[in-house]
């Protein structure tokens, strides 16, 4: 599966893609002082919450207002580091090197130093309540898969795409990245950052404001269910991927 594949775009268009331009027109992109910074922090909080961080947005913002009254713990640091990664992405072009740098920034509380900003060298699986839910590609093939992945991203970045196509490919990027699972930890956070990064690169800085991470958190059960397209990397059935692809545009409703 290549992220440049438009095999599912007709089905996607019928279900949600033909509504995307209207959703964008109706979405409030107006920017008051402090809005962009606040929404960046919200994105990092919700993305962290999906991964089990217990600090909600209200608690984090109150911590921001009164830092001297709070003891900084691992969960606060985790969010602050992800905010820093978002801020770096907002100022830099989407590339493999820059994504690895973002991972190096936000994985300080997740991984030992030697594994930050580097692809994994271990076999890794995703485990649920009943055991192993998904087995990712073998570590010796991660660099190969990621090389193809970023060649395809650069191809998409160089093409003229409609708004619907941008959202379609952004969701495919998110989905494929999670399935490759290139890092020892931090794959979900990186995938959600990457998805929004691609949209903003194609459609403009203001698209960093769409509340995709919040929407995924609120609809977390659907998010995980639709990501699951097979028990391992070699048995993924992308014929069932549209259920996942149509989640993202709904965040603008």
Residue tagged 């713990």 (tokens): 73
Closest to 148 (Cα-Cα) out of 179, 126, 127, 122: 179
Whole-model pTM? 0.96
Closest to 234 (Cα-Cα) out of 122, 119, 144, 136: 136
Question: What pLDDT digit, counting tens, does each position of 33-71 carry?
Answer: 669 999 999 999 999 999 999 999 999 999 888 866 566
Q: Give me the pLDDT at residue 30, please.
A: 86
The number of distinct structural domains making up the chain is 1
Tokens at 178, concatenated: 């999670």
Query: Does some domain include residue 71?
Result: yes
Residue tagged 């977390």 (tokens): 220
Tokens at 227, concatenated: 């990501």
For the chain, the distance separating the N- and C-terminal CA atoms, rounded to the nearest angstrom, is: 30
Query: Does some domain include residue 1?
Result: no
CATH of the domain at 185: 1.10.3290.10
Question: What pLDDT digit, counting tens, does each position of 81-108 carry?
Answer: 999 999 999 999 999 999 999 999 999 9
Query: Does some domain include residue 3?
Result: no
Domain residue limits at 240 = 9-252
């Amino acid at each position: 599966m290549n992220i440049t594949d438009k095999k599912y775009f007709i089905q996607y268009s019928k279900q949600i893609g033909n509504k995307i331009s209207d959703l964008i027109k109706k979405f409030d992109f107006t920017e008051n002082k402090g809005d962009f910074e606040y929404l960046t922090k919200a994105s990092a909080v919700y993305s962290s919450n999906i991964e089990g961080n217990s600090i909600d947005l209200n608690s984090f913002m109150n911590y921001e207002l009164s830092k001297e009254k709070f003891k900084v713990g691992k969960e606060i640091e985790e969010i602050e580091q992800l905010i820093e990664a978002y801020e770096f992405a907002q100022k830099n072009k989407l590339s493999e090197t820059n994504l690895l740098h973002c991972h190096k920034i936000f994985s300080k509380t997740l991984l030992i130093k030697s594994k930050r900003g580097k692809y994994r060298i271990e076999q890794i699986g995703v485990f649920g309540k009943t055991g192993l839910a998904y087995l990712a590609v073998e570590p010796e093939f991660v660099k190969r898969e990621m090389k193809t992945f970023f060649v395809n991203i650069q191809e998409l970045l160089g093409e003229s795409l409609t708004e619907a196509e941008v959202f379609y490919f952004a969701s495919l990027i998110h989905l494929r990245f999670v399935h490759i699972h290139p890092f020892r930890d931090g794959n979900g956070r990186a995938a959600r950052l990457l998805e929004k990064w691609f949209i903003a690169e194609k459609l403009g800085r203001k698209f960093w404001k769409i509340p995709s991470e919040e929407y995924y958190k609120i609809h977390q059960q659907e998010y995980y269910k639709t990501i699951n397209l097979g028990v391992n990397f070699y048995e993924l059935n992308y014929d069932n991927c549209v259920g996942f692809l149509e989640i993202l545009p709904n965040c603008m409703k």
